[in-house]
A and B are shown apart, each in its own frame.
Chain A
Amino acid sequence: MKLTGREAMRQAMRRAMAADDRVFLMGEDVGRYGGCFGVSKGMLEEFGAERVRDTPLSESAFVGAGIGAAMAGLRPIVEIMTCNFSLLALDQILNNAATLRHMSDGQFGVPLVIRMTTGGGRQLAAQHSHSLEGWYAHIPGIKVLTPGTVEDFAGMLQPALDDPDPVLIFEHGALYNAEAELADSAPAVDITSAALRRTGTDITLITYGGSLPLCLDAADQLAADGISAEVVDLRVLRPLDDTTVIASVSRTHRAVVVDEGWRSVGIAAEVSARIMEQAFWELDGPVARVCTAEVPLPYPKHLEEAALPSVGRVLDAARELVGHG
């Protein structure tokens, strides 16, 4: 069955809601409108207004309400239109969802799933395009998932709902229209590990989410140059799977981290530091980073493209590293 990322997430939500009465969806325009990006289209008709709840534009209240409902034993899925808007609910996510289990000495957990769109590339300018998953990955107490394939759009939701702790899923807007052939009964995927998307021997490209297709393209082009690139899809930004990353870098001895967040103090910096800490003597050269330019994302297409990671920038970084290796 051929599915888009959007359809894969919808199918996962429909299956979860059909299987478990505790699961419900709420967020802005998830019902009558069908979801800002069309992910929940048709679900209101299928499950009714009680379980597919349109909310007012009150991010803090409805995210916090999701936390409260989760503490009471339900399994809410809260959709936030974009990760920029999630900042209006940051108090609830950081001060409540992430702290309640530890602060209550394990008496209360928050089995909540928050889904939101992330990333640029659609000329939506500086308040709809940022990649803030690295910020969230800073916070102990939550888990951060970044599906980069249609298979992960289909398979990450159920294990996230099964997780006893708050799980944030960052869905790159460019992947909603990505297509892939999936088995009808796509199995739940592992949400604790990074995945090796391509094996290689000369260099490791480490990435996640919307940058995964770029890195796979870049790996194809590098192969034409005789450079064998391995591609690691982090998939989970917290807790990070060091093992897969370090094992790969220990084989290839070179690493480029590709991350759509800003370069400073971001996930690429974290991955780079871990490689330095755990595989310093394996490296043939410094870890390179390809990240978004340190600007609020601009509207014009040529400027936005220049700011975001691209296949060309990944190729440049990889060739320089191999050339100097």
Chain B
Amino acid sequence: MREGIDLLRDMLLVRHFEERCARLYQESRIRGFLHLYVGEEAVAAGVLGELEPDDNLVATYREHGHALLKGVDPGAVMAEMFGRQEGCSGGRGGSMHLFDAAHRLFGGNAIVGGGLPLAVGLALADRLTRTPRVTACFFGEGAVAEGEFHECMNLAALWELPVLFCCENNLYAMGTALERSEADTDLSVRAATYGMAAWSVDGMDVEAVQHATRRALAMVRAGQPCFLELRTYRFRAHSMYDPELYRDKAEVARWKERDPIAAFRGRLEAAGVLSPEEAERLDREAAARVDDAVAFAEAGTLEPLETLTRHVYADRGTR
């Protein structure tokens, strides 16, 4: 369980990491698709701070923050962006496919909705083996349009599986606004029709996310799936290729006034929990951690061509 200053520290780490990734992309140090989480940090910080180390995490292709806050080493995440074998997926996955067995991160998944069946299966395994563990499954509001979402909501409710469904509603599925793709845009009402507790949360307020997660996890740990719609906004483009023709700058500016990090820092300072000097120090520490991560990634090595086809199948003799 993370409290005040820890939550701010978590969000700052993600913010600095993502802003650095954007610069590294512009310098062509990172390639492929890169989806940044800037603006949405309160969601990952509020939810993941409530998970136990042994809980499962299934994430999307916008999952750097989730990996970092599940405890994956920032250097290993950055090395993955660099395609180095010291990366958390050996450099083979890149930004969209972060894995870490030690931290029970079962992947970023680059198929919208594709991680939900995995989460159901992980929870089913825990149910069958009587393991008291929760699976947190993140996905965007775009996934609500996929058949897999509906299949999985039904199956998790039918089989009473311990899944926390975390719908990060940032209003746009790439460039398609929610009201342009859904006949009914009230996602928690729709989720509730599957027979599970579901409600909407201000995803720009880390404490609101934390409180909602606590309430939801109590239900999930008691054996019922739960659905949270986390209303948030991405400040940056969908990916580095996106010219943002589908939303106007005034809208982005309005949401930036609700920056979850600035808002929470202001709240801590007003409450006297944090001085401006301490806040600046936390900011510098986060930047320094990212500096270290970049240095680690830069020192990383490229996988030799000889092992290109390794792990397509298990090595003989392993089980």
Which residue numbers of A lie inside 8 Å of B, CB to CB?
Answer: 24, 50-51, 55-56, 58, 60-74, 76, 91-92, 95-96, 100-109, 140-141, 143, 162, 164-165
Contacts and interface: CB of A to CB of B under 8 A. Distances in A.
Interface stretch (B60-68, B149-157, B273-281): B149-157
Closest 5 CB pairs of A and B: A64-B117, A68-B121, A105-B90, A61-B151, A72-B125
Given A64-B152, A65-B120, 18 more contacts: A58-B154, A61-B116, A61-B148, A61-B151, A64-B117, A64-B148, A65-B121, A65-B124, A68-B124, A69-B122, A69-B125, A74-B128, A91-B114, A96-B109, A101-B312, A102-B92, A104-B90, A143-B313
Contacts of B155: 55-56, 58, 61-62, 65
A105 to B, nearest CB: 3
Contacts of B99: 103-105, 107-108
B313 A100 contact: no
Contacts of A162: 319
Contacts of A143: 313
B114 A96 contact: yes
A64 B125 CA distance: 12
Contacts of B109: 96
Contacts of A70: 121
Contacts of A100: 107
Interface of B: 56, 85, 89-93, 97, 99-101, 106-107, 109, 111, 114, 116-126, 128-129, 147-148, 151-152, 154-155, 158, 310-315, 318-319
Contacts of A105: 85, 89-93, 99, 311
Contact of A64 (B91, B121, B128): B121
Given A63-B117, A64-B121, A101-B312, A56 B100 contact: no
B6 to A, nearest CB: 28
Nearest to B133: A72
A56 B154 contact: yes
Contacts of A104: 89-90, 92-93, 97, 99, 101, 107, 311
A266 B43 CA distance: 48
B111 A91 contact: yes
B291 to A, nearest CB: 25
A28 to B, nearest CB: 12
Contact of A71 (B122, B151, B154): B122
Contacts of B318: 164
Given A68-B117, A92-B117, A107 B122 contact: no
Given A58-B154, A108-B101, A140-B312, A103 B118 contact: no
B121 A69 contact: yes
5 contacts: A61-B154, A96-B109, A101-B314, A104-B97, A107-B100
A104 B72 CA distance: 14
Contact of A102 (B56, B147, B312): B312
A95 B114 contact: yes
A73 B125 CA distance: 8
A76 B116 CA distance: 18
Contacts of B310: 106
A210 to B, nearest CB: 27
Contacts of B152: 58, 61, 64
A102 B151 contact: no
B92 A108 contact: no
A36 B99 CA distance: 38
A91 B148 contact: yes
A101 B313 contact: yes
A65 B126 CA distance: 12
Nearest to A78: B121
Contacts of A62: 117, 155
A283 B70 CA distance: 60
B319 A60 contact: no
A24 B117 contact: no
B193 to A, nearest CB: 15
A30 B101 CA distance: 32
A68 B123 CA distance: 8
B62 to A, nearest CB: 17
Contacts of B93: 103-105
Contacts of B91: 105
Contact of A60 (B56, B117, B122, B123): B117
B89 A67 contact: no
A72 B158 contact: no
Contacts of B114: 64, 91-92, 95-96
Contact of B121 (A56, A66, A109, A140): A66
Contacts of B314: 101, 106, 109, 164-165
A68 B125 contact: yes
B281 to A, nearest CB: 36
A61 B124 contact: no
A140 B151 CA distance: 27
Contacts of B92: 102-105
A64 B121 CA distance: 7
Contacts of A103: 89, 92-93, 97, 99, 107
A107 B117 contact: no
A68 B151 contact: no
A116 B122 CA distance: 23
Contacts of B111: 91, 95-96
A71 B148 contact: no
Contacts of A101: 311-314
A189 B80 CA distance: 41
Residue with the greatest number of chain B CB neighbours at <10 A, chosen from A92, A95, A106: A106
Given A61-B151, A103-B97, A141 B313 contact: yes
B78 to A, nearest CB: 16
A61 B120 contact: yes
A108 B106 contact: yes
A141 B312 contact: yes
Contact of B90 (A56, A72, A106): A106
